[in-house]
Structure 1
Amino acid sequence: MSAHRAQLSRRGFLGGSLLFVAGAAVGCSTVPTGSGSSGAKTTLNVWFHAYGEAGTQQAATRYAESFTKANPDIAVKVTWVPGDYTSKLNASLLTDGAPDVFEIGDFSQALARRGQIAALDDVYGSVKSDFSQGNLDYMTVDGKVYGVKSIDDVMMLYYRKSALGKAGITPPTTFDALASAAKALTTKQNKGLFIGNDGIGDSPVLAVLSNGGDLVTDGKVAFDSPPAVEAVTALKRLTDDQSLLLGFTTDWWDPSALVQAVVPMQWCGLWAMPAVQTALGDDFGVLPWPALKAGGSPVLRVGGWTSCVNAKGKHVDAAKKFVQWLWVDQTDLQKDWSENYGFHVPPRATVAATADKLAKGTAKETVELAATYGKHVPNTWDSEVSTPFNAAAKKVVTGQGDPAQLLADAAKQAQTALDKQRS
């Protein structure tokens, strides 16, 4: 997923030795490449969240070794951070032990406004136009670009072809059809749809966007607008029908509920497709979250991970050099990172064009759907802004108050947080 969540990453919790920063357990750390007899003058600490796909930590370490081989004066320590990555990162950024380079899930302009991350326009050089304008806009604050995307993660609806076919159900293309299908596919043993263990997942955001609404517009919270209220209120039907899987052993980012036939429909991500293909063969398809009604638009969620440089670190120039080398210049490594550890879309267009595993079958269909219907959340959508919305949406779908009032109250809280970002 876009690991836009502050809680445990979709890629899972990896154990291992712990690196301690300012007294807090952070994560597994490698011996710096280029240390010892090489005489490196600078050592960069580079943070990754704990990706769960096999081989990712080894790949990140291998990339660091290749960088140091090309730049022997710069050693790189890869720190692999399990658990609540976002909270650990935010805590570290308040200390002298903050990483020089770190990845973040959904980009937050608040980091740029606080002077925590460095502008990276110079890192892109002559290939800036090879990155999508949407991604560049997403990471732009006051005319400067503050990150380089390492992967684009696409999130969509998976369904079992055989299960829907047996029930005589056409893959749903409207919200009404989705709700009806989920109810019809629910039995005494199984539920029809999995969108998250909390019963909402990304669905409130998806619903608002699918009804022509916005979350934030021009610095103003917009999720209390009539289209947004209508969209979130519609989600209550899924709860009322008791067609949602709740409290599964893994959350929506893991495809286990789908591949184990616990549900026939699940919101998940492109990263899971290799596992889904292994388990189900051709017995699956993908869909966007459907438009709420005529006049709306289907939605696929586009997240991913962005590499940033600590503007307050001691090695800003060397950190920029690492980010440029890995996520701008090394197209072969970018392709490896996107294709061989789950499926992800390479942010550079020319690299994406050579990603053979994404150029066929359902993976290709997903990439094409994302190009048409993919949406980022706003770069102001941090936890302080999104939490009131999600809490209100949870109350709406469980019938705990008037939807318009709940969302209006949440909007006031979110606007205070939003104003604070710009102060």
Structure 2
Amino acid sequence: MSAHRAELSRRGFLGGSLLFVAGAAVGCSTTPGGGDAKGAGTTLNVWSHAYGEAGTQQALTRYAGEFTKAHPDIAVKVTWVPGDYTAKLNASLLTDGAPDVFEIGDFSQALARRGQLAPLDEVYGSERSDFSQGNLDYMSVDGKVYGVKMIDDVLMLHYRRSALEKAGIAPPTTFDALASAAKALSTRNTKGLYLGNDGLGESPALAVLSNGGSLVTDGRVEFASPQAVEAVTALKRLTDDQSVLLGFTTDWWDPSALTQGVVPMQWCGLWAMPAIRTALGDDFGVLPWPALKSGGTPVLRVGGWTSCVNAKGRQVAAAKTFVRWLWVEQTALQKDWSESYGFHVPPRASVAATADKLTVGTAKETVELAAKYGRHYPNTWDTELSAPFAAAAKKAVSGQGDPAQLLAEAAKVAQAALDKQRS
């Protein structure tokens, strides 16, 4: 599958998670609740990663309780999983204690091909047309849909307007301008740009896409192409200039580096916008990752979280009932989840149309940019493909080898993993 740009108007994009563990020592669990939970004949284990926004854990627990009130025969046990959620989930899925319902970030078709995910086409019912075709395609494998998108997340560059204006720097629209701005805004005590604790974050993939390259296309790993090599090589400039912040107290997904004045530019997500606005007022703007050079294309990444059902679980029917109730039927709860605990784009068109907070100011600008420049990663882009790419890019930008050779070697490893994934 190609890493293709989302073909969406702003209205279309606006039209276009929640989960928990059963008794395992992975995080905080609620007792099954809502309604007469003690009399329920079925208990669902539902997993969620530890969202960073205040109130999210309480909201998911409340949703579970409301579900049980509407379905007294089904109780829901919510587990909040801190730390490396993906690793803990993958480990759990190999055991009898695996959750019945779980969320995943970037959708991976490998789980479906391994028989771990139950197809959910019937869960959509007559509401299917209210979900964007792009998301349905993203979660599809061999013609079946294996998830229900809970939220669409948009990731982009944030910058302090006053800092750039004071330095006489225009918001960068090319990579050269971004690198120059980061260097100019760096001082002895501060850096100009924060991409993540490792100094790279998602920038290697973004650079490749912004140079007209691809990560994976039609079963072929493409991140060793000439466009990709050129893009990763260009990132070395940020390292050489020592203009990127390393080792901050929180990673790129938290806006603290920007809001605390540690850096004037940071890669982060739409979810952080309320916190950024509280800290900075209107003194911030948003940008796509800029085109590597003339002829390239700016990029915003579109991610999010998807609710899935464990095909090997003991409560598949009840799990599907829960997923449909919450992420298809309960439009008021979906709106609450998307707007009340950070900003996210509701995947359902009818819900997104009521998302008033996304229709004004910088949030509106973000949605418009995502409609124009938004890109999903391929649904084959799991850790077995992304890890060798990230490792090669890290070595390349730190001068530990020839970028073309490093990426070619990584591509061989990734291609073997992709072939296995698709077999």
TM-score tier (shorter): over 0.9
Specify the code of the residue in structure 1 equivalent to 2:253.
Answer: W
State the Cα distance separating 1:122 from its structure 2 match. Answer: 0.6
**Could you say if the C-alpha distance between residues 152 and 37 of structure 1 is closer, same or farther in structure 2, counting changes exceeding 3 Å?**
closer
Aligned to 1:172: 172
Aligned to 1:160: 160
Alignment of 1:196-211 (within 5 A): 196-211=196-211
Aligned to 2:298: 298
CA distance in 1, matches of 2:37, 2:301: 47
Structure possessing the higher relative contact order (Cα contacts under 8 Å, 6 or more residues apart)? 2
State the Cα distance separating 1:38 from its structure 2 match. Answer: 4.9
CA distance in 2, matches of 1:32, 1:147: 24
Aligned to 1:12: none
State the Cα distance separating 1:121 from its structure 2 match. Answer: 0.6
CA distance in 2, matches of 1:102, 1:335: 20
TM-score of the two chains, using structure 2 as the length reference: 0.94
SS at match of 1:47: strand
Specify the code of the residue in structure 2 equivalent to 1:233.
Answer: T
Asked if the contact 1:34/1:74 (under 8 Å) is kept, the reply is no
RMSD (Å) for aligned C-alpha atoms: 1.2
Q: Please list the CA deviations of residues 336-358 of structure 1 after superposition, one character each: whole Å capped at 9, or x if unmatched.
A: 00101111111111111111111
Asked if the contact 2:48/2:103 (under 8 Å) is kept, the reply is yes
Aligned to 2:274: 274
**Length, aligned pairs only:** 403
Q: Does 1:344 align with 2:305?
A: no
Uncovered stretches (5+) of structure 2, i.e. residues with no partner: 1-20
Aligned to 1:239: 239
Specify the code of the residue in structure 1 equivalent to 2:263.
Answer: V
CA distance in 1, matches of 2:56, 2:248: 26
Aligned to 2:213: 213
State the Cα distance separating 1:375 from its structure 2 match. Answer: 0.7
State the Cα distance separating 1:392 from its structure 2 match. Answer: 0.3
Asked if the contact 1:299/1:374 (under 8 Å) is kept, the reply is yes
Uncovered stretches (5+) of structure 1, i.e. residues with no partner: 1-17
Aligned to 2:110: 110
State the Cα distance separating 1:127 from its structure 2 match. Answer: 1.5
Aligned to 1:7: none
CA distance in 2, matches of 1:360, 1:182: 29
Asked if the contact 1:67/1:325 (under 8 Å) is kept, the reply is yes
Specify the code of the residue in structure 1 equivalent to 2:208.
Answer: V
Specify the code of the residue in structure 1 equivalent to 2:286.
Answer: V
CA distance in 2, matches of 1:272, 1:72: 36
SS at match of 2:199: coil
CA distance in 2, matches of 1:35, 1:314: 22
Aligned to 2:255: 255
SS at match of 2:26: strand
Asked if the contact 1:396/1:403 (under 8 Å) is kept, the reply is yes
CA distance in 2, matches of 1:174, 1:340: 34
Aligned to 1:194: 194
Specify the code of the residue in structure 1 equivalent to 2:33.
Answer: T
Specify the code of the residue in structure 1 equivalent to 2:417.
Answer: A
Q: Percent sequence identity over matched residues?
A: 82
Aligned to 1:329: 329
State the Cα distance separating 1:292 from its structure 2 match. Answer: 0.6
Aligned to 1:14: none
SS at match of 2:268: strand
Q: Please list the CA deviations of residues 387-421 of structure 1 after superposition, one character each: whole Å capped at 9, or x if unmatched.
A: 00000000111111111110000000001111111
SS at match of 1:26: coil
CA distance in 2, matches of 1:37, 1:261: 48
State the Cα distance separating 1:20 from its structure 2 match. Answer: 4.5
Aligned to 1:312: 312
State the Cα distance separating 1:35 from its structure 2 match. Answer: 7.9
SS at match of 1:186: coil
CA distance in 2, matches of 1:105, 1:409: 27
Q: Please list the CA deviations of residues 211-256 of structure 1 after superposition, one character each: whole Å capped at 9, or x if unmatched.
A: 1100000011000011111111110111111110111111111111
Specify the code of the residue in structure 2 equivalent to 1:271.
Answer: W
CA distance in 2, matches of 1:315, 1:146: 16
CA distance in 1, matches of 2:190, 2:96: 51
State the Cα distance separating 1:36 from its structure 2 match. Answer: 6.2
CA distance in 2, matches of 1:324, 1:118: 13
